Amino acid sequence: MKNPDCQRDKLINLGPETLADTLLDLGAHSDDAAAVVERITSSPKENQKRFKSKMAGLKRQRKFIDWRGAAGFARRLEELLADLRAGVKQPQTGVELVAAFFECDSSVFERCDDSNGAVGDVFRFDARQLFIHYASQVDDKEWLCQLLLKLYEHDDYGVRGELLGSASGFLPADSLRSLAEIMWKRAEQENETETNSWYFSQWLYGVKTLARQLKDAPLFEKAALTSAPNKPLAVCIDIAEVYLESGDAARALSILEDAPKDNPHFENDRDALLLAAYKKLGSNKKAAETAWRIFRRHRGAANLDTLLVVVGEEKRQWIVDQQVQEVHSAERLDYASARFLAEVGQTDEAETYILDRADQLNGDLYELLVPLAKRMEESQCLLGATAVYRALLESILARALSRYYHHGVRYLKKLDALAPRVSDWRNLAPHNVYKASLLEAHARKKSFWAKYGD
């Protein structure tokens, strides 16, 4: 990769005329480049005017944008915000205009397919950062609070709440607390007129969001338990996490130990917080028990490192040797176990483990198998890599979907390249035998063999 500082120096040395001509040429061939050229050559007043014009057009447009055009639409929204940043220096005006952009969320999301999240990310990241940029410079915090309340009240698409979640970046603690009090009162008013409003209350969620930023764990707990008085495990985990963030590990531990233990979906989250609480309180024995529980539930290099922090790095080899024995003792193939052996440097053991269970490899699970094959190949475990690539290839041929044949061709050519480097095939058929049987079994897939021949 070229050094950007070196490239910058070279561009400077080209001189202004060359750079100007190049930018104009780029602008003639790219709408994105043309927008940049227009922005950097316009005055702040012109950039602000262009922003307002584009905003008006955004509200008027009705043509639906499908998922294929969503990325381009997101780029246009980014350019619109760039015009705003280049055109507005007065903080309060900037806040008002970014708020106006957020208020266009219905016009945006109702006419585009944002399946990949690109458009939403413009609101959640670009617009949010620009709002913080301006709002942090505004002196009238009461005005900011009222504007934030207005935006949050009509957060129908889940993007305005990002501003509330970043409020500590532009509001002092007393303003955050005032906002929380207002939201609590609104939640109470809502509860007087609507059934089950506590459970679904947007305002209570807002209180929790602000309480977390204030590191006010009791306020967070009060809001959380008001909306979920039966104390489900997920809510207890959230409360304990805020107490930990606030520095009260003892209260976090008490909540976690009293929480229901009947929901396996949250076991990892609960144990991660328990481990953090035990470590902060100096309960080494309990911390070790919890770290072992996490590691045994999900055997992996990261969880091994977490365990070793508690029990001591000097036990690494003993633990790895123990795990190697446990992995080999299981009859069923477990991809996580194979990955673990490779991650901790036991690549030969991983290869043996795979070869002993080669008939269990499921090539349909390509998201698991492709990284495993690459790791085997990089570690010079050629037979292990061969077994995995064969499973991937056979899966593609068995499904007989021609749009995937190019992947199968790549795997077969990979096998061709690995074969001359294998001296002992052990329990696998030699490559020439395997390839002959493959050709016989799939002789009718002429398009595959044509691609392979090409």
Given a cut of 80, is residue 58 above it in pLDDT?
no
Given a cut of 80, is residue 96 above it in pLDDT?
yes
Sign of CA dihedral 295, 301, 305, 306: negative
Residue with tokens 């009060």: 222
Tens digit of each residue's pLDDT (9 = 90 or more) over 101-129: 999 999 899 999 999 999 999 999 999 99
Predicted local distance difference test score (pLDDT) of residue 308: 96
Sign of CA dihedral 415, 419, 421, 427: positive
Strand segments, DSSP code E, in 277-419 are none
Please tell me whether residue 6 adopts helix, strand or coil conformation.
helix
Given a cut of 80, is residue 19 above it in pLDDT?
no
| Distance from chain centroid for Cα 344 | 25
Predicted local distance difference test score (pLDDT) of residue 61: 81
Given a cut of 90, is residue 16 above it in pLDDT?
no
- DSSP-assigned letters across all residues of 101-152: HHTTHHHHHTTB--TTSHHHHIIIIIIHHHHHHHHTT-S-HHHHHHHHHHHH
Average pLDDT along the chain: 90
Given a cut of 60, is residue 432 above it in pLDDT?
yes
Q: Of 13-17, 215-219, 360-364, where does mean pLDDT reach its minimum? A: 13-17
Given a cut of 60, is residue 1 above it in pLDDT?
no
Predicted local distance difference test score (pLDDT) of residue 174: 97
The phi, psi pair for 365, rounded to 5°, reads -90, 60
Nearest to 377 by CA among 409, 419, 429, 340: 419
Predicted local distance difference test score (pLDDT) of residue 37: 58
Percent of the chain with pLDDT over 70: 92
Given a cut of 80, is residue 40 above it in pLDDT?
no
| Distance from chain centroid for Cα 276 | 23
| Distance from chain centroid for Cα 260 | 29
Predicted local distance difference test score (pLDDT) of residue 54: 76
Higher pLDDT, 278 or 22: 278
Higher pLDDT, 339 or 31: 339
Predicted local distance difference test score (pLDDT) of residue 35: 66
